[in-house]
Amino acid sequence: MIWHSATGGSEAMVLAAYGAAQSECEVRMIAAASAGADDLLSADGYLFVCPENLASMSGMMKDFFDRTYYPVLGKIEGRPYASMICAGSDGEGAARQIARIATGWRLKPVADPLIICTHAQTPEQILAPKVITDTDLTRCQEVGAMLGAGLAMGIF
């Protein structure tokens, strides 16, 4: 699981998914700033989690993809992936960006992007720490459990 969070929303989401996936298979959770090509090469599948900022994935997540795209190109084809986005209003821009990169890598999507909307619209709300509802954390757990179980059973 590769993730980035500035205000805690994406972090809460990835922690929920991580906890659920751990009961299914071996899982690593790596901050985007620390993740590299070797992390992608050593994994059987991926969960990408980040906030949407200004209709795009967060800059740190973009940096991760910029640093790792070419070093793994042609080496991870067919592996499963899913994505989760913490958004203030929409999230579709970040989801599309991740999907385009995953398509370039020839990854296999195993779930629709999960977009959790916080409805943060003012500068104060956008910069404030995010609280993800229990209902939405359950949705994140479901993605983690599904990805973990699919990898453990060899269906992806």
Burial 122-143 (b: 16+ CB within 10 A, else e): eeeeeeeebebeeebbebbbeb
Contacts of 135 (CB under 8 A, 6+ apart): none
Write the pLDDT tens digit of every residue in 40-99: 999 999 999 999 999 999 999 999 999 999 999 999 999 999 999 999 999 999 999 999
- Give the global pTM: 0.97
Residue ranges and CATH numbers for the domains of the chain are 2-153 (3.40.50.360)
Q: Hey, what are 37's tokens?
A: 């090509």
Three-state DSSP string of 129-144: CCCCCHHHHHHHHHHH
